[in-house]
Amino acid sequence: MAKVKDPVCGMMVDSETADWKSTQDDDTYYFCMEQCKTSFDADPSEYIGDSREGHEPAFTVEDGMTAPKFGSAGSGGAEYEGPPGMRDKRG
């Protein structure tokens, strides 16, 4: 199983079983879903090269589970909330 990063969303994809892929300049890119492939195919230069260096997806993948990172859209503001019962102890 070879894991590669989807250049659109940053999700890790198994290149051996990926359903969606595109070739650009003799390189093959793999995608987690059709929408990512469609976005890439519309403007590959947006996702290839220096403009995407250092890009980190707004989610993490661990043990097959995907979760939003704190501070990212979709995290529900969880980064601002302490564990249950802590709200009473904050000043």
pTM of the model: 0.54
pLDDT band at 37 (very low <50, low <70, confident <90, very high): very high
CA R_g for the chain:
17
Write down the mean pLDDT value for the chain: 74
Cβ 13 vs Cβ 3: under 8 Å: yes
Which helix (DSSP H) or strand (DSSP E) does residue 22 occupy?
strand 20-24
Mean pLDDT of 16-45: 92
Question: Which of 9 and 49 is assigned the larger pLDDT?
Answer: 9
Q: Is residue 30 within a helix (H) or strand (E), and if so which, with residue range?
A: strand 27-31
67's CB contacts (< 8 A; 6+ apart) are: 59, 60
Indicate the pairing of strand 12-14 with strand 20-24.
unpaired
